[in-house]
Amino acid sequence: MARGDFCLPCHSLPLSVAVNGRPLLDTWREWAASSYFAQGTQCQDCHMRDGFHGFPGAHNHTQVRDAIEVRIGDASVNGGKVDVEFEIINRGAGHHFPTTATPAAVVILDQVGREGALSHTSKAWVIARTVRHEDGAWHELSDTRIPAGSSFVGTYAAARDPRAEGVELRLWFFPDWHYAGLFQRLLDGRPDKRSPLLRNAQAEAETSGFIVTQIRRPLKAGRVSH
């Protein structure tokens, strides 16, 4: 029988090693606190579909795309400024999105013209748990992850570029986000015999990212107040 408690020993660390009240790996407890647990949806229902033992997760494009829903409102122009709101909903993961401090989702929103994105109009939002190991201990810098059934809402507001005809939202997912930064910090230190291996590892971590979804909206005139 597929049971989520089979995953507990490897997918949740004890509270005795919590960082800011939560272990760095707490997937099982995130699932146990979600509606999935109450409904009887087990971890294996998503990660071992049809008995598949590949356990697809953060590196699997389909698994990541199935976990979330992206909504973006109208891109309105008000007084020379572009305003648009978006929402990232954790619709299909029974744990936080993402569940550990290793991956990160990055929302990038640009104004776009006939030749594509106008880079100087770009704004970004990071959905992740950012941690760092310093002075012999882990420290949490931020946590913007999305619990199961919840959402992340962002608002873009910037001066309109005269060439802009719309906006474009891209949601990137980086499975090895934490490692890319870690390897770079190690490389920034004193070079040693590990450097070639670290450079290769960092390059792989940085190139593991992929676009989950890409959505465009045309600019629309906003309401004029009287």
Q: What are 127-170's pLDDT values in tens digits?
A: 999 999 989 999 999 999 999 999 999 999 999 999 999 999 99
Mean pLDDT of 87-101: 96
State percent of the chain over pLDDT 70: 97
Which positions ≥6 away from 95 have C-beta within 8 Å? 27, 30, 31, 34, 148
Task: Please give the pLDDT value at position 55.
Answer: 82
The number of distinct structural domains making up the chain is: 1
Report how far apart the first and last C-alpha atoms of the chain are (Å, whole number). 65
Q: Is residue 203 included in any domain, yes or no? A: yes
User: What's the mean pLDDT when you consider all of the chain?
Assistant: 91
Mean pLDDT of 107-116: 96
Contacts of 49-58 with CB under 8 Å at 24 or more apart are: 58/98, 58/102, 58/103, 58/173, 58/175
In this structure, the number of other CB atoms found within 10 A of the CB of residue 183 comes to 22
Check whether 225 has a pLDDT greater than 70. no
pLDDT band at 28 (very low <50, low <70, confident <90, very high): very high
How large is the angle between the packed helices 195-206 and 177-188, nearest 10 degrees?
150
- Helical (H) or strand (E) element with 195: helix 195-206
Which positions ≥6 away from 36 have C-beta within 8 Å? 94, 148
Task: Please give the pLDDT value at position 3.
Answer: 85
Mean pLDDT of 100-123: 96
Q: Which domain holds residue 148?
A: 58-220
Q: Is residue 48 included in any domain, yes or no? A: no
Q: Is residue 127 included in any domain, yes or no? A: yes
pLDDT band at 6 (very low <50, low <70, confident <90, very high): confident
Task: Please give the pLDDT value at position 171.
Answer: 98
Task: Please give the pLDDT value at position 224.
Answer: 44
Task: Please give the pLDDT value at position 186.
Answer: 83
Mean pLDDT of 92-108: 96
For 171-191, the DSSP string reads EEEETTHHHHHHHHHHHHS--
Q: Is residue 53 included in any domain, yes or no? A: no
Q: Is residue 160 included in any domain, yes or no? A: yes
Check whether 44 has a pLDDT greater than 50. yes
In this structure, the number of other CB atoms found within 10 A of the CB of residue 84 comes to 22
Q: Is residue 42 included in any domain, yes or no? A: no
Task: Please give the pLDDT value at position 226.
Answer: 36
Task: Please give the pLDDT value at position 223.
Answer: 53
Task: Please give the pLDDT value at position 24.
Answer: 94
In this structure, the number of other CB atoms found within 10 A of the CB of residue 49 comes to 11
Q: Is residue 17 included in any domain, yes or no? A: no
Mean pLDDT of 84-111: 97
Q: Tell me, what CATH number does 78's domain have?
A: 2.60.40.10
Q: Is residue 3 included in any domain, yes or no? A: no
Check whether 1 has a pLDDT greater than 60. no
Asked whether the beta carbons of 200 and 194 are under 8 A apart, the reply is: no
Look at the pTM and tell me if it is higher than 0.85: yes
- For residue 80, the 8-state DSSP code is T
In which residue are the tokens 């990137």 written? Answer: 172
Task: Please give the pLDDT value at position 196.
Answer: 86
